[in-house]
Amino acid sequence: MRVGLTGGIGSGKSTVAGMLRELGAVVVDSDVLAREVVAPGTVGLAQVVEAFGPEILAADGTMDRAKVGAIVFADPEQRQRLEAIVWPLVAAASAELAATAGPDDVVVHDIPLLVETGQQSRFDAVVVVDVPVETQVERLLRDRGMDEAEARSRIAAQVTREQRIAAATHLIDNTGTVEDLRRRVAEVLAELRS
């Protein structure tokens, strides 16, 4: 069973991925892979530097994610340019990891931009973690130290809540307590296994 997991920034998708992992699902985390494919010495980093210039490098030779974020979240064409470099590399690394799963495993691909990149048809099921936009803004201010303009810019750079929900085969509302969330995650995993 191949499952795509997604949710808007600040929705709690990473928390849900952790819960799924604790409950025995195999979780392939695209955020982790996205960092690995642009690590120093990789082809990915070389391609990003070629596309955006050496000024996107930090003093230690790593990609300065804040500088790249400032470029790509302000300009949709630049964001597409970065995604065209990074996402094929992430997809290849993801396929390698998924190939290690057993035939009865539920393999969950944690992909923040699943709907934005049109990947929903690649999966047997799509799980969307959902919260209202105002909840996203509150969490980004509180948990990530963003100001309101930056938070709203990041949210606006993604597809709308309605577009994400339309892609879902399973919806997880993350506006309740942690216990509510854990219960709903367990229910969804049971449905996926049946």
Name the nearest CA neighbour of 27 among 87, 123, 94, 85: 94
**Is the separation of the CB atoms in 111 and 119 below 8 Å?**
yes
The Cβ of residue 147 has, within 10 Å, a number of other Cβ atoms equal to: 10
- What residues are designated binding site? 10-15
- What residues are designated binding site for ATP? 10-15
